[in-house]
């Protein structure tokens, strides 16, 4: 079956994570992605470690199925060399600071004058406008300034560094893909492209819907460790086991909470956790600490308790559930080396058959597009 984005051409000027992951998702759905890179060095991520062949495994995972075109954008005549590609492009993705692409002659106004059907997606930390538009920052900064990091604290009350690049992916990649697809649909109706201003920091507030609601409706702004989903409730908590592993317990609803209390052999008096949640948390921790993680894992089977043992990354990769779902079934290869491709949230019905793909060598497409 033809993939939904076949025939769509994307010029990807982005580097590192947010933009390349966005164009990876679109490539998986059939788009032709031409990655524009600096001659000699290419995307900075090529040089990261560990390696998968000549380039980093991070670069390989994020750029599966794309083409690479190496060109010095600061060189005189660069725009002219790219003109035929601009004329045929549907989408441009970039993540420079505001104004950089304009100075290179590749901003939205310049490109739309060549091709008014272009959908131009600019991904930045703080967006194209505002007092911080030109400020240098990374994922941790955006998470900090959105208020999200302040709600994630350790036992000493200090914020904990998140294990995922939340702003890059949840605030940058996914909103970029959503809005690109919406822009394609709008172009079907209007015949015209548009410019998309994706701010990674802005988009984090979607994940804090409950905190914004509580604060605005009742003046009850959340505090670290004091809310339902930040550690304030025994029903949404992490408990340490006898062998220093952890139970992630989330029996929020009364039926699950009742099942959980029975499953761990706790006294029924703990069912009412509204009067003294800290006391209930302490009592449950004492019970969980008497047995190993393996004991509790067995204990929870078939009990409808919304509990899980905290897995290592290696355990998750080998988990029977994810294997049954084929999460890691697609491959990425480099010569005689093969690893699992990065799982992406694109349904199989929109993708080609499961395969073992490759990633582009720097400038491998230059000859094909007549660029020296």
By annotation, the residues acting in catalysis are 138, 168
Residue 213 forms part of a structural domain: no
Is position 362 within any domain? Answer: no
Quick one: CA dihedral 183, 165, 344, 249, positive or negative? Answer: negative
Cα gap 52→45, rounded to integer Å: 12
- Would you say residue 205 lies in a domain? no
> Which pLDDT does position 288 carry in this prediction?
98
Residue 39 is classified by DSSP as T
What is the number of domains present in the chain? 2
Cβ atoms of residues 247 and 239 within 8 Å: yes
Ramachandran area for residue 11 (φ above 0: left; ψ -120 to 50: alpha; else beta): beta
**Which CATH number covers residue 144?**
3.40.50.10540
Residues 179 and 308 in one domain: no
Please write the tens of the pLDDT for every residue from 99-111.
999 999 999 999 9
- Structure token digits, residue 226: 């004091």
Cβ count near 216 (within 10 Å): 10
Predicted confidence band of residue 130 (pLDDT cuts 50, 70, 90): very high
Domain, as residue range, for 148? 9-200+327-357
Could you tell me if 174 and 281 lie in one domain?
no
Return the closest-CA partner of residue 300 out of 252, 249, 244. Answer: 249
Whether 209 is covered by a domain: the verdict is: no
What does pLDDT average to over the chain?
A: 96
Please indicate, yes or no, whether residues 288 and 259 belong to a single structural domain of this protein.
Answer: yes
Residues 276 and 339 in one domain: no
CATH number of the domain within which 279 lies? 3.30.1540.10
Residue 336 pLDDT grade (very low, low, confident, very high; cuts 50, 70, 90): confident
**191 and 262 part of one domain:** no
Q: Quick check: is 365 in a domain?
A: no
Nearest 5°: CA angle at 319, between 305 and 171? 80
Domain boundary among 317, 348, 365: 317
The answer to whether residues 42 and 154 belong to one domain is: yes
Are 246 and 353 within one domain?
Answer: no
Q: What are phi and psi of 37, to 5 degrees?
A: -130, 160
Q: Which of 199, 49, 71, 53 is nearest to 135 (CA)?
A: 199
Residues 54 and 167 in one domain: yes
> 148 and 279: one domain?
no
Please report whether residue 372 resides in a domain: no
The predicted structure's pLDDT at residue 168: 98
Q: Which CA distances in Å does 51 have to 20, 57, 169?
A: 18, 5, 22
Kindly tell me if the per-residue pLDDT of 372 is higher than 90: no
Report which of 59, 60, 81, 74 is spatially closest to residue 11, judged by C-alpha positions.
Answer: 81
Distance CA(328)–CA(322), nearest Å, equals 8
Instruction: Report the percentage of the chain scoring pLDDT > 90.
Output: 95
Q: What confidence score (pLDDT) does residue 86 get?
A: 98
Q: What is the pLDDT of residues 275-334, one digit of tens each?
A: 999 999 999 999 999 999 999 999 999 999 999 999 999 999 999 999 999 999 999 999
Residues 246 and 181 in one domain: no
Question: Does residue 74 sit within a domain?
Answer: yes
Whether residue 50 sits in one domain with residue 163: yes
Q: Does residue 91 sit in helix, strand or coil?
A: strand
Spatial distance between the Cα atoms of 143 and 152, rounded to a whole number of angstroms: 10
Q: Are 198 and 121 in contact (CB under 8 A)?
A: yes
Task: Write down the pLDDT at residue 354.
Answer: 82
C-alpha span between 325 and 337 (Å, rounded):
24
Q: What is the pTM of this model?
A: 0.95
> Among residues 317, 335, 366, which one ends one of the domains?
317
Together in a domain, 177 and 248? no
Residue 91: which pLDDT band, with cuts at 50, 70 and 90? very high
Host H or E run for residue 121? strand 119-124
Q: What tokens were used for 28?
A: 């998986």
Residue 289 lies in a domain: yes
């Amino acid at each position: 079956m033809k993939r939904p984005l076949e025939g769509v051409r994307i010029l990807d000027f982005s580097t590192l994570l947010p933009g390349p992951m966005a164009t990876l998702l679109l490539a998986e759905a059939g788009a032709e992605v031409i990655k524009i890179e600096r001659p000699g060095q290419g995307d900075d991520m090529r040089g990261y470690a560990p390696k998968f062949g000549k380039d980093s495994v991070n670069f390989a995972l994020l750029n599966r199925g794309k083409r690479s075109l190496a060109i010095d954008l600061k060189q005189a005549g660069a725009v002219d060399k790219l003109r035929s590609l601009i004329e045929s492009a549907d989408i441009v993705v970039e993540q420079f600071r505001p104004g950089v692409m304009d100075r290179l002659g590749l901003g939205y106004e310049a490109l739309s004058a060549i091709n008014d059907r272009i959908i131009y997606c600019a991904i930045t930390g703080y967006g194209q406008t505002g007092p911080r538009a030109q400020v240098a920052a990374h994922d941790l900064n955006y998470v900090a300034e959105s208020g999200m990091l302040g709600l994630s604290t350790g036992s000493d009350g200090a914020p904990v560094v998140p294990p995922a690049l939340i702003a890059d992916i949840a605030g940058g990649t996914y909103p970029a893909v959503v809005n690109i697809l919406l822009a394609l649909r709008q172009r079907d109706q209007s015949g015209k492209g548009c410019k998309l201003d994706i701010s990674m920091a802005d988009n984090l507030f979607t994940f804090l819907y409950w905190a914004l609601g509580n604060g605005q409706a009742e003046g009850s702004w959340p505090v670290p460790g004091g809310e339902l989903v930040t550690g304030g409730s025994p029903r949404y908590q992490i408990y340490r086991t006898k062998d220093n592993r952890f139970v992630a317990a989330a029996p929020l609803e009364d039926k699950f909470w009742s099942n959980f209390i029975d499953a761990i052999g706790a006294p029924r008096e703990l069912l009412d956790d509204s009067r003294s949640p800290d006391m209930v948390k302490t009592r449950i921790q004492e019970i969980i600490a008497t047995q190993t993680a393996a004991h509790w894992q067995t204990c929870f089977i078939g009990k409808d308790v919304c509990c899980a043992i905290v897995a290592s990354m290696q355990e998750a990769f080998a988990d029977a559930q994810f294997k049954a779902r084929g999460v890691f079934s697609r491959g990425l290869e480099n010569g005689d080396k093969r690893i699992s491709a990065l799982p992406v949230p694109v349904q199989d019905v929109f993708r080609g058959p499961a395969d073992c793909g490759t990633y582009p060598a720097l400038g491998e497409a230059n000859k094909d597009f007549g660029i020296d």
